[in-house]
Structure 1
Amino acid sequence: MDLRHSCSHRHQYLIDDRRNISPISSSIVAKGDLSVPSLADDLFFVMHDDVTGRPRVHPRLASLGLAGAVIGELMLAERVSFEVAPGHDRPYAITRDATGDPLTQKVLDHIVAEPHHPVSTWLVFFANTIYADVTARMIAAKLLNPPSRHLLKKQPATPADVNSAAWPLARLNLAVQRREPPAVRDRVLYGLFAATGGAQRTLWDHDPAFVAAMLAGLPLPLRRLIVQTEAVVGGAVISRR
């Protein structure tokens, strides 16, 4: 599809100065199959009540955050990285190997087919369908119960297990409370949640200084993903005013 008409472990990373590219190389990066519970699943849980499934974040902003999370899944699995340039952070495929998951495969296929688009364009484009896509994937994985109707009103999908749904937010709360930077994956989770505006309202103690230091330790491509997600969320907020 032509988008021109649409819309705490130590980690190390390597830098290719020829293209200002920073591929991710980490002992805790999840390589290989992407069909297991994911970054986007965890972000969905922290953006919704762990009992009722009701949103804590406006649906449009949640969709942009989930779009960032699915790209983040591909980055953590070393399938995608960023070519970083002023005003033009562009994702590119490191490998075209099958992801083992239809949703991340669809996103990867788009990036492979049209590699010239900046990440901001991809975030807005994927946000159009990503909320429904992630919800469907989580229902298929039995992480969510399908939406139901009560008195002719459609109810949201609810967590299949309250403890599992509450755990991602609990991990973030514990990390801030203890001032212990979490693993890379949860740093990205925190960053994307903060980018949607949800962290400031939901976490027990949102410490901007600790969060800034925590995110500064991420590899450059992941930091740029969070920055760009925050930027498109900010644009969406302004457009609604």
Structure 2
Amino acid sequence: MAELALADELFHMAHDEYSGKVRISGDMLGCGLAAAALGELLLAGTLTVTDGKLAGWTAGQTGDPVNDQVVVQLQRVGAGHALHHWIAHLRADIVELVAYRMTARGLIRRETSRTFTGRTQTRYPAADAMAATRPAVRLGFLLGRPTDFDPHSTLLAALATAVGLDIVAPSLSAAQVRDRLTQLQRALPPGHRDLAKSLDTAVAAVALQSHA
């Protein structure tokens, strides 16, 4: 069972636990964390999704910087919009918000440095490297025992896959891992499946923009 919020686990998976360097592009990370932030409310039962659209919510502000920002945006924009538009809307600021939450909880450190071109580079090494690997290790273990997957872990696996993060299962070949992940995504509850598909759409749109 997960110990951390969905976006925090995805953040750990997307960063090297020692150097703090991101393993995927910043655009992919933003999309994935935006979907994960929405996923936290879905898992809590305070967000309603119908046919790929955000249909309504009962979530309120709780003092959590990530969830509260989503709630503020929900109140500002309103329901009825496609989830992939929500992911695109939230992704610009979500990385900083998740990093802030995780730093405040003592999960990561924020380190900045200058590159030789004068740009500022930010890294997020884990405070506990072993703890930071637990989400990926848990998913790899569960892929060998798919009947033990819980909703949180299933959604995490779908979101991680959508942004290009590899999940390694020691007992399975790469082809078997792909098959298991496909089966798990098909078994997602409708709202969770809509979120995973919407992340695929958002990721594809970002990829097209980067090649335009």
TM-score of the two chains, using structure 2 as the length reference: 0.86
Amino acid at match of 2:90: F
The answer to whether the Cα contact below 8 Å between 2:65 and 2:97 also exists between their aligned partners in 1 is no
Of 66, 70, 73 in structure 2, the residue corresponding to residue 107 of structure 1 is: 70
Preserved contact between residue 53 and residue 159 of structure 1 (Cα < 8 Å) = yes
The corresponding residue for 2:203 is 233
What is the CA-CA distance between 1:156 and the residue it aligns to? 0.5
Deviates more, 1:174-183 or 1:127-136: 174-183
Report the residue type matching 1:91 in the other structure: L
Q: Which residue of 2 aligns with 1:208?
A: 178
For 1:23-172, what aligned pairs fall within 5 Å after superposition?
37-84=4-51, 89-113=52-76, 114-149=78-113, 154-172=121-139
Quote the offset at 1:203 in angstroms: 2.7
Structure 1 unaligned runs (5+)? 1-27, 31-35
- Aligned-pair CA distance for 1:54: 1.0
Letter in 2 for 1:165: A
Contact 2:6/2:36 (<8 A) preserved: yes
| Higher share in helix | 2
Partner Cα distance (1:112, 1:225) in 2: 20
Q: Aligned partners of 1:110, 1:150: CA distance in 2, in Å?
A: 33
Give secondary structure in 2 for the equivalent of 1:225: helix
For the 8 Å contact 1:92–1:111, the answer to whether it is kept is no
CA change 1:65–1:228 in 2 (3 A) is: same
DSSP 3-state at the match of 1:70 = helix
- 1:92 CA displacement: 3.2
Q: Shift of residue 178 of structure 1? A: 4.2
Q: Find the aligned partners of 1:178 and 1:82 in 2 and give their Cα distance.
A: 29
- Alpha carbons 2:46, 2:58 under 8 Å: kept: yes
Write out per-residue CA displacement over residues 24-76 of structure 1, whole angstroms, 9 at most, x where no aligned residue.
xxxx9x9xxxxx83100000011111211111111101110000000000110
**Does the CA contact (< 8 Å) of 1:64 and 1:127 recur in 2?**
yes
Q: For 2:128 and 2:100, how far apart are their aligned partners in 1?
A: 16
Which letter maps to 1:176? L
146-155 vs 160-169, which moves further: 146-155
| Distance across 2 between alignment mates of 1:155 and 1:232 | 24
The number of residues matched between the two structures is: 202
Counterpart in the other structure of 2:164:
197
Residue identity in the other structure for 1:135: A
Taking a change above 3 Å as real, the CA distance of residues 175 and 162 of structure 1, as seen in their structure-2 partners, is same
**Structural RMSD (CA):** 2.2
